[in-house]
């Protein structure tokens, strides 16, 4: 039977799978700078300029812009403005802290850099972790915020979550930014126009999951106290998942006194929400010998998440080496540098997704090819042995025989774990053998014939002995690197012959008195050692490293 290959040409589909990404403060104090904005408001470009410069001066700054009365407005904007007694646009707060000399948490934009410097020099009272995931099919987002106190505190504390989008733009008055600074020499928006058409809005607050004040998690916490809150939501289709960031923060929870709601610490993700999905797992299911080309061919089921390519690795010198890569719409690979008649090979494949994340090689499944080690004739019997297939669950091993070049016919079906078979009814003439592993599950990348994994073929060759050795003959060490010692032999050994797995003699020697044999000159692989004495012959299998 031919090992059929089929290239997958259909578009990959998505499934409801996701994994988790995580970012942490790790003892660093971040400063939350929130301010109101509006495409209609001609002073907003100045507020945007000042907040952007503040972040340049103090990289620990996290910016969130609450839009009102434009195409990006959210109900939370007015709630924020009203709760903290904002007067006019654009205004904002730094860590929602009431600074000395101020009457309100929300202040004018001119003092934001100074207040950010003050807050950045404080020791954080909380560490924050954001653990988040994104489902590429449903656009569902799951976020867990974990907060740990770094000191004992008094009062109530809450967590909150902002969903922020970058690079928001559009046409018309809802997006074109009014600009009072078009004629102000030296201003960041000098000469940009009024309005600024096609303005790119950054740090736009799209959703506030915890309301104005957040969700309470801890009261009078001791040092190292932990609290957590989970949020789940569906990202609206209008929002670009590749430009979405998450901002989480912990603040004092005193809704009755908005002047006592200082943000303790905050953290934000990169705009990588789209990439917070499961790195697609490989589904390598067949590593087989193609019966036409006699090459080793790998076959796998397509990954069910967006990927760019598959990478193929082969074991070499105790580790796995990258031997090739194929694009997303390919699900087979032929190893032209492997010789399946000489040895068994181990392979893994990984996936590289559209965010350039590669599946961890250690988590990929190892597949070990079936290597028909040898088929030998002793007396009127043929002895066939092979290495087991690993990587997919099998139901049985099927031994097939071809006589004088005719087609292969099943002569035995054996249970998993079997590695040898004695053919007692071989017909006259040259007999060639092959072993097939019947998989429990069909590998869904080609025809139904991919329910079987094929070994190499081997022709039975005579050993010149009447039976297999049962005496306590041993090869030490086995596997061997340079020399082997053969124990349990009489002293009247006449000759020692070593054959490779295709029946070629590679060593002919006589043993010295110490029963040592030099095997350093032969390649790595599986060999048959034939020992001839005056009384009887022996045959032993060993592996050369």
The model's pLDDT over 170-193, given as tens digits with 9 standing for 90+, comes to 999 999 999 999 999 999 999 999
pLDDT at 55 over 90: yes
User: pLDDT for 506-529, tens place per residue?
Assistant: 888 876 655 788 889 998 887 878
Per residue in 316-342, pLDDT (tens digit) is 887 999 999 999 888 899 999 999 988
**Among candidates 84, 111, 89, 113, which has minimal Cα distance to 100?**
111
Pick the CATH number of 474-544 from 2.40.128.120, 3.30.360.10, 3.40.718.10, 2.60.40.1930: 2.60.40.1930
Which fold is adopted by the domain 372-462? Immunoglobulin-like (2.60.40)
Distance separating alpha carbons of residues 359 and 375, to the nearest angstrom: 39
Cα dihedral 365→366→370→371 (10° resolution) = 170
**pLDDT given at position 534:** 62
Q: Which residues contact 82 (CB under 8 A, 6 or more apart)?
A: none
Mean pLDDT, residues 460-464 taken together: 69
Each residue's pLDDT tens digit, 128-170: 999 999 888 899 999 999 999 999 999 999 999 999 999 999 9
* pLDDT above 60 (res 16): no
pLDDT at 478 over 50: yes
Instruction: Considering the domain delimited by 284-368, tell me its CATH architecture.
Output: Sandwich (2.60)
The answer to whether residue 11 scores a pLDDT higher than 60 is no
How many helices and strands (H and E) does the chain possess? 3, 34
Average pLDDT value for residue range 492-505:
71
User: Given the structure tokens 């099927």, which residue do they identify?
Assistant: 398
> Which of 209, 21, 33, 170 shows the shortest CA–CA distance to 113?
33
Share of the chain above pLDDT 90, in %: 58
Q: How far apart are CA 526 and CA 341, in angstroms?
A: 10
Q: CA 338, 342, 346: angle at the middle one, nearest 5? A: 55
Predicted confidence at residue 245, as pLDDT, reads 94
Give residue 277's pLDDT.
Answer: 66
Could you report the per-residue pLDDT of 217-243, keeping only the tens digit for each? 999 999 999 999 999 999 999 999 989
- How far apart CA 424 and CA 406 sit, in angstroms, is 19
Architecture of domain 21-275: Sandwich (2.60)
Q: Which pLDDT band, with edges at 50, 70 and 90, does 1 fall under?
A: very low
pLDDT for residue 378: 66
**How confident is the model over 241-250, as a mean pLDDT?**
95
d(CA 400, CA 502): 17
- pLDDT, one tens digit per residue, over 291-308 is 899 999 999 987 766 688
The pLDDT score that the predictor gives to residue 494 is 66
Residue 419 pLDDT level (bands cut at 50, 70, 90): confident
Question: 């509006």: which residue's tokens?
Answer: 38
Q: How confident is the model at residue 463 (pLDDT cuts 50, 70, 90)?
A: low
Q: What pLDDT is recorded for position 312? A: 97
As a whole number, mean pLDDT of residues 475-502 equals 77
Half-sphere CA count of 389, side-chain side, radius 13 A: 28
Tell me the β-bridge partners of 456: none
269's tokens: 């993700």
Q: What is the pLDDT of residue 491?
A: 61
Predicted pLDDT at 7: 31
Which positions ≥6 away from 117 have C-beta within 8 Å? 57, 58
Asked if residues 76 and 66 have their Cβ atoms less than 8 Å apart, the reply is yes
Q: What's the pTM value of the predicted model, to 2 decimals?
A: 0.60
Least confident of 14-18, 71-75, 84-88, 347-351: 14-18
Domain ranges of the chain: 21-275, 284-368, 372-462, 474-544
* Mean pLDDT score, 8-14: 28
pLDDT band at 422; cut points 50, 70, 90: confident
Q: Which residues have CB under 8 Å from 470's CB, separation 6+?
A: none
Spatial separation of the C-alpha atoms in residues 438 and 450, rounded to whole Å: 9
Q: Which tokens in the block code for residue 506?
A: 């590679």
Alpha-carbon distance of 184 to 191, in angstroms, equals 8
| Average pLDDT for the chain | 87
């Amino acid at each position: 039977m031919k090992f059929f290959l089929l290239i997958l040409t259909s578009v990959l589909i998505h499934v409801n799978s996701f994994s988790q990404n995580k970012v942490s403060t790790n003892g660093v104090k971040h400063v939350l700078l929130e301010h109101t904005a509006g495409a209609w408001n001609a002073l907003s470009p100045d507020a945007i300029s000042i907040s952007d410069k503040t972040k340049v001066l103090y990289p620990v700054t996290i910016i969130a812009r609450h839009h009102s009365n434009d195409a990006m407005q959210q109900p939370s904007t007015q709630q924020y403005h009203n709760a903290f007694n904002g007067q006019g646009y654009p205004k904002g707060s730094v860590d929602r802290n009431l600074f000395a000399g101020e009457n309100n948490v929300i202040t004018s934009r001119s003092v934001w850099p100074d207040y950010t410097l003050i807050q950045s020099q404080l020791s954080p009272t909380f560490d924050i972790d954001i653990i988040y995931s994104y489902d590429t099919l449903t656009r569902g987002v799951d976020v867990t915020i974990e907060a740990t106190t770094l000191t004992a505190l008094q009062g109530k504390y809450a967590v909150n979550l902002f969903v922020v989008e970058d690079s928001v733009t559009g046409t018309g008055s809802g997006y074109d930014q009014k600009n009072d600074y078009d004629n102000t020499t030296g201003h960041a928006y000098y000469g940009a126009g009024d309005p600024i058409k096609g303005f790119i809005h950054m740090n736009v607050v799209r959703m506030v999951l915890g309301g104005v004040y957040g969700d309470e998690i801890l009261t009078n916490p001791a040092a190292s106290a932990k609290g957590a809150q989970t949020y789940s939501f569906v990202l609206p289709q209008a929002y670009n998942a590749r430009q979405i960031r998450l901002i989480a923060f912990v603040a004092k929870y005193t809704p009755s006194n908005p002047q006592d709601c200082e943000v303790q610490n905050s953290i934000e993700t990169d705009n990588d929400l789209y990439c917070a999905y499961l790195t697609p797992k490989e589904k390598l299911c067949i590593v087989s010998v193609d019966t036409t080309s006699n090459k080793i061919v790998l076959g796998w089921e397509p990954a069910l998440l967006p990927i760019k390519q598959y990478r193929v690795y082969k074991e070499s010198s105790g580790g796995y080496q990258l031997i090739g890569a194929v694009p997303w719409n390919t699900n087979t690979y032929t190893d032209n540098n492997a010789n399946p008649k000489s040895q068994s090979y181990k392979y893994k494949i990984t996936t590289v997704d559209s965010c350039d994340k590669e599946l961890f090689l250690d988590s990929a499944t190892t597949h070990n090819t079936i290597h028909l080690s040898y088929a030998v004739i002793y007396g009127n019997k043929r002895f066939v042995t092979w290495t087991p297939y690993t990587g997919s669950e099998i139901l049985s091993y099927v031994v097939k025989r071809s006589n004088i070049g005719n087609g292969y016919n099943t002569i035995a079906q054996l249970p998993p774990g079997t590695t040898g078979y004695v053919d007692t009814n071989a017909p006259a003439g040259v007999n060639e053998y092959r072993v097939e592993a019947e998989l429990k599950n069909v590998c869904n990348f080609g025809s139904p014939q991919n329910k079987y994994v094929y070994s190499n073929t081997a022709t039975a060759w005579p050993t010149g002995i009447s039976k297999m050795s049962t005496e306590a003959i041993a090869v030490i060490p086995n596997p061997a690197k340079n020399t082997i010692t053969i124990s349990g032999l009489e002293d009247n050994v006449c000759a020692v012959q070593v054959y490779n797995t295709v029946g070629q003699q590679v060593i002919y020697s006589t043993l010295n008195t110490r029963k040592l044999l030099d095997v350093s000159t032969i390649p790595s692989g599986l060999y048959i050692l034939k020992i001839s004495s005056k009384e009887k012959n022996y045959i032993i299998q060993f592996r050369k490293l």
